[in-house]
Amino acid sequence: MTFEEFNLNENLMEGLRMMNFKEATPVQAQTIPLILQEKDVISCAQTGTGKTAAFLLPLLNNLVDKNHPHDAVNALIMAPTRELAQQIDRQLEAFSYFLPVSSVAIYGGNDAFAWEQQKRGLTLGADVVVATPGRLISHLNLYDVDFSQVKYLVLDEADRMLDMGFYDDIMQIVNHLPKERQTVMFSATMPPKIRKLAKTILRNPLEVQIAIAKPADGISQQAYVCYENQKLAIIHALLSQKEQGKVIIFSRYKSKVRDLTRKFKQSGLSVSEMHSDLEQAQRDHVMREFKNGNVKILVATDILSRGIDIEDIDLIINFDVPNDVEDYVHRIGRTARASATGTAITLISKEDQAKFFRIEQFLEKIIEKIPLSEEMGEAPKYAPKQKTKPERDSRKKHKKNFKYKAKKQK
């Protein structure tokens, strides 16, 4: 489906033509017509499917084609992280280049001037506000913000916002908004907590399900089956094999990220760390250094697996297997951007074999297992044990009995 078929505002189309937007992605083709009709929508779609344009284009179209006050906030877009809020704001500016639409981005880690700029946007009335929940709550707690004219609410990456503990903030913000509004929610996954949130803030939503995208063809996926104490030697060997470009090493744990960063620095490698314990100014500095090539290796938690767009990352190393398929796809999707090629290598400990097997089942392929060199010692066999149905039922029964006994002893 082409963008011409959506019958969007001509000035909006002029911007799309300038950006060479022609064919809509599946999530855009399914979602844009529903949002144009001002229906509440919940869309299950991950980063990289074109979901930002899927909500920005119909939102901008409705703003310019329908009457709305120019001295009030008319639309609110919430995102879990500063990086994603910045990315949405940049796309918003590009799409609205030929439109009389104002916007302001609200996120933390800025100086006093940025705070005042954000405050002016909220009090004088930017058409579109893009905000992280925590920073917006800070503004709401210090002075009155008039959200009485908000007609459109978008929650992007709602699952991440809930994972980061923003449920109460989201509900506090929603309570400031008119009940008569259009609400659109995007989430990469659809667990019960997301459905509960949708039931609370959406009205008879239409649901769009976009299957989890497979990794790009340009990503060469490989793995090492190893013991935990062999992982560091494997990474050193990988980094010393040839001159690498930019590298990201992912771990599930902040403590492991800090530990690995310290050890790599001791080895003389150009490395920085990225996790949620860093102040925003520190995170910005690290990203600038990584983008301009002053830092070659980033060791990061999954905070970096979404919402960044750096095109020249050559190698992704999963120090441990991510908890679910979505996180794996997001992690390795940091390489091979914009039709480039890249390599993703996962280190599979004995304890993580079942998780990796589930990833292979989803991908419908066996990922190449590279044997360890002799000097690294013997590796465990790759023999992931999948629980049989009787085992799963027995485990559930045991957990149920344990809960009952614990409750009885109180």
Residue 351, CA distances (Å) to 30, 114, 227 in order: 40, 47, 9
Identify the three-state secondary structure at position 187.
strand
User: Would you call 272 exposed, middle or buried from its count of C-beta atoms within 10 A (0-12, 13-18, 19+)?
Assistant: buried
> How does DSSP classify residue 240?
H
Q: Which of 23-37, 116-130, 184-198, 258-272 has the lowest mean pLDDT?
A: 184-198
Residue 391 confidence (pLDDT): 41
Is residue 306 over pLDDT 70? no
Q: Give the angle subtended at the CA of 364 by the CAs of 362 and 366, to the nearest 5°.
A: 110
What pTM, to 2 d.p., does this model score? 0.61
Question: What DSSP line would sit under 44-91, residue for residue?
Answer: E--TTSSHHHHHHHHHHHHHHHS---TTS--EEEE-SSHHHHHHHHHH
How crowded is residue 397: how many other Cβ atoms within 10 Å of its Cβ?
10
Report the interhelical angle of 82-95 vs 280-291 (nearest 10°): 60
* H/E element, 232: helix 231-241
Query: What are the tens digits of pLDDT across the range 330-368?
Result: 899 888 876 678 999 999 999 999 999 989 988 889 999
Contact between residue 385 and residue 232 where contact means Cβ atoms under 8 Å apart: no
Pick 50 or 238 by higher pLDDT.
238
Average pLDDT over residues 194-217: 86
Q: Which of 190-204, 254-268, 389-403 has the lowest mean pLDDT?
A: 389-403
Residue 388 confidence (pLDDT): 41
Is residue 184 over pLDDT 50? yes
Paired tokens of 4:
């011409």
Q: Residue 23: which pLDDT band, with cuts at 50, 70 and 90?
A: confident
Residue 109 confidence (pLDDT): 76
Strand order in the sheet with 219-225: 271-274, 297-300, 246-250, 313-318, 342-348, 219-225, 368-369
Residue 217 confidence (pLDDT): 83
Residue 163 confidence (pLDDT): 83
Residue 196, CA distances (Å) to 76, 139, 158, 159, 316 in order: 21, 27, 12, 11, 35
Q: How far apart are CA 271 and CA 297, in angstroms?
A: 5
Residue 325: φ, ψ to 5°: -60, -45
Pick 305 or 256 by higher pLDDT.
256
Is residue 203 over pLDDT 60? yes
Please state which of the four CATH numbers 3.40.50.300, 3.20.20.70, 3.40.1410.10, 3.40.640.10 is assigned to the domain occupying 3-209. 3.40.50.300
Is residue 390 over pLDDT 50? no
Rounded percentage of the chain residues whose pLDDT exceeds 70? 90
Paired tokens of 159:
């699952």
Contact between residue 89 and residue 105 where contact means Cβ atoms under 8 Å apart: yes
Q: Residue 98: which pLDDT band, with cuts at 50, 70 and 90?
A: very high
Query: What are the tens digits of pLDDT across the range 111-156?
Result: 788 899 999 999 999 999 999 999 999 999 999 999 999 999 999 9
Q: How far apart are CA 289 and CA 207, in angstroms?
A: 41
Average pLDDT over residues 265-290: 90
155, β-bridge pairs: 78, 185
Strand order in the sheet with 75-78: 103-106, 128-131, 75-78, 152-155, 182-187, 41-44, 206-209
Q: How far apart are CA 41 and CA 74, in angstroms?
A: 18
Residue 235 confidence (pLDDT): 96
Pick 391 or 43 by higher pLDDT.
43
How much of the chain is in helix, strand and coil states, percent to nearest 5?
A: 45, 15, 40
CATH 3.90.480.20 fits 219-376, yes or no: no
Residue limits of CATH 3.40.50.300 in the chain: 3-209, 219-376
Query: What are the tens digits of pLDDT across the range 220-277?
Result: 999 999 999 999 999 999 998 766 689 999 999 999 999 999 999 999 999 999 987 8
Based on its alpha-carbon atoms, the radius of gyration of the chain, rounded to whole angstroms, reads 23
For the chain, give me the number of helices (H) and strands (E)? 15, 14
Q: How far apart are CA 193 and CA 210, in angstroms?
A: 19
Sign of CA dihedral 325, 81, 36, 13: negative
Average pLDDT over residues 98-103: 93
Residue 399 confidence (pLDDT): 41
* CA-wise closest residue to 295 among 307, 282, 286, 308: 286
Looking at 271-386, list the stretches that DSSP marks H as alpha helix, in order from N- to C-terminal side: 280-291, 325-332, 353-363
- Residue the block writes with tokens 């080895």: 267
Q: Residue 410: which pLDDT band, with cuts at 50, 70 and 90?
A: very low
Question: What DSSP line would sit under 91-129, residue for residue?
Answer: HHHHHTTTS---EEEE-SS--HHHHHHHHHHHHHT-SEE
Contact between residue 298 and residue 251 where contact means Cβ atoms under 8 Å apart: no
Identify the three-state secondary structure at position 403.
helix
Antiparallel, parallel or unpaired: β 182-187 and 152-155: parallel
Is residue 17 over pLDDT 80? yes
Q: Residue 56: which pLDDT band, with cuts at 50, 70 and 90?
A: very high
Average pLDDT over residues 173-196: 91
